[in-house]
Structure 1
């Protein structure tokens, strides 16, 4: 029988106090969320993904698979990438490895872990959940939790805590920014994708299919939409870098590299990664060649498509026909955990 994250968490003084580590990676919640087993939980938060989705007219920025009220959650996410060491940081500010193989990627964590992931360094602007047919949704939650192969990793911030990492093609699943440009066959069984990667919503599509609930079809975004998204992503990264926000909190890169356009290099690097999977390069010609190619499009599955919002059909997933319920943290328990 697989290890149950919720049941095996040791109650510590930190958990009893209901407080959290200042780092925002580990901590506890005094109550669990109310999302039923198999429900998809959405949020809208700030950051590079929001810049992209706002630019194409979509709202939700993250999606997660609940395994029940106060229980565990499966999702794909990415921690802040690290910087390149001096002096290369001036020309290539962000670790290309971290951008291409986003950590932790696909993971299964407890309520303390997901609470810190959402609220440890701020909090989302909006949250909600959709379930659809309860029996069909529960099949999705149970299939990923009980049937899928996984490995366990120690937390980078508390070695006494473990993160379960579902595996695909015999390897841990990374968070791949290129999924926003092309999901390839990440939504199919067996399926595959560059960097053995998924993002939150392509994982949800995979889980839907893995449970036998059907293939979640992707959406193709027009050239005008992806051109707008590319510009928005570059500008968002550039502004965060200049302001030492987001991925660049306390980085002070403009001070360390006064004769370089370090924030422009950072913007180029992230835009290259998402548009062309060229995560090691800060040469802006790569993403601009995609932006300026009138035949270039993007084919992917977004959180809005998972939920059947906007232009996306409600019949594409089990969850789509449901309305959005308010996410509340009101189930019992005081659980300590980590999300990376």
Structure 2
């Protein structure tokens, strides 16, 4: 779902939707072996993995393949900047960047998607695979998004010579929105809407499935005990990354410049947990996410990568991809291609 909180600065270990240290631009073989319309899954490090583990699911990110030498469409999030002093002490993370994750929904080439997933040394997610299922229907999804969907193009933040396409929804760009993990709202419906006009990787695929005329992907409601576990795990994951001086907090002296009564890492964990639990990315008050956690009537309704793939409690009828098994992902086409993912 990522770089969220994986996956994606060089990218830090506190990636939301993805791998911890991927570079933004680079070369790779000309293409992967995922056919047009296949969904590519992986399991990477980061706070999203903490959330997925807490609800008993495995996959942390999902992407739509546009063919063996084509692009990939996905929604992801790079790490927000930390605020400057003294704001950083009470509200450690840039509020706008946390609430409206960049790059959000995008289409990148093989060089870009490879370097989203892997470091220059080849390290990356612990598991990758693709599923195709209904090959004709899957190709219809990919082609509808590629040929028919409105988009804008702008230059990479890293390399001004590279352009990245950004599909539009409701006439606007689509940021990565952590609140989608709590409530996808009507992203899976047509025309659909959501807070901040946002999506995450798997709710985007549900949208694409319906946009192409392949039917509604129904949401799944997680019971209270699961979201309580997820809330605790998300907070702890962010806190631990911070304390290890990774990610946004590479300079451990940060805890020195703030008064002793400021728990900077705890505030970062609260801010991210608030953002996911209640869409409140602007505060580090723990009462918001703990209020959701401690209210026995609260649930979460969303669509995860495991549901897109029909795994665990999710039926193989959930999507046109879900009837397939997992195929090993490889980059094995001749030649090479350069690209950027942000």
TM over 0.5: yes
Residues 1:124 and 1:252: Cα distance change in structure 2 (over 3 Å): farther
Q: Give the structure 2 partner of residue 331 of structure 1.
A: 333
Q: Does 1:174 align with 2:186?
A: no
Once superposed, which parts of structure 1, at least 4 consecutive aligned residues long, lie more than 4 Å away?
none
Which whole-Å CA distance do the structure 2 matches of 1:229 and 1:216 have between them?
23
Which whole-Å CA distance do the structure 2 matches of 1:38 and 1:255 have between them?
50
Deviations 1:173-220 (A, max 9, x none): 000000000000011110000010000000000000011000000000
CA contact (8 A) 1:244 1:252 kept: no
The runs of 5 or more residues in structure 2 that have no matched partner are: 1-20
| TM-score normalised to structure 2 length | 0.91
Which whole-Å CA distance do the structure 2 matches of 1:117 and 1:320 have between them?
24
Which whole-Å CA distance do the structure 1 matches of 2:301 and 2:251 have between them?
35
Deviations 1:136-163 (A, max 9, x none): 1100110000000000011111111011
Q: Give the structure 2 partner of residue 242 of structure 1.
A: 243
Partner of 1:316, secondary structure, is coil
CA contact (8 A) 1:25 1:120 kept: no
CA contact (8 A) 1:27 1:112 kept: yes
Q: Give the structure 2 partner of residue 139 of structure 1.
A: 140
CA contact (8 A) 2:43 2:125 kept: yes
Q: Give the structure 1 partner of residue 149 of structure 2.
A: 148
CA contact (8 A) 1:127 1:327 kept: yes
Partner of 1:64, secondary structure, is strand
Which whole-Å CA distance do the structure 2 matches of 1:311 and 1:256 have between them?
47
Q: Give the structure 1 partner of residue 282 of structure 2.
A: 280
| TM-score normalised to structure 1 length | 0.91
Residues 1:132 and 1:249: Cα distance change in structure 2 (over 3 Å): farther
Partner of 2:317, secondary structure, is helix
Alpha-carbon offset, residue 241 of structure 1: 0.3
RMSD: 1.3
Q: Give the structure 1 partner of residue 119 of structure 2.
A: 120
Q: Give the structure 2 partner of residue 184 of structure 1.
A: 185
Q: Does 1:33 align with 2:35?
A: no
Residues 1:255 and 1:167: Cα distance change in structure 2 (over 3 Å): same
The runs of 5 or more residues in structure 1 that have no matched partner are: 1-21
CA contact (8 A) 1:39 1:131 kept: yes
Alpha-carbon offset, residue 254 of structure 1: 2.1
Alpha-carbon offset, residue 25 of structure 1: 0.6
Which whole-Å CA distance do the structure 2 matches of 1:274 and 1:68 have between them?
33
Q: Give the structure 2 partner of residue 321 of structure 1.
A: 323
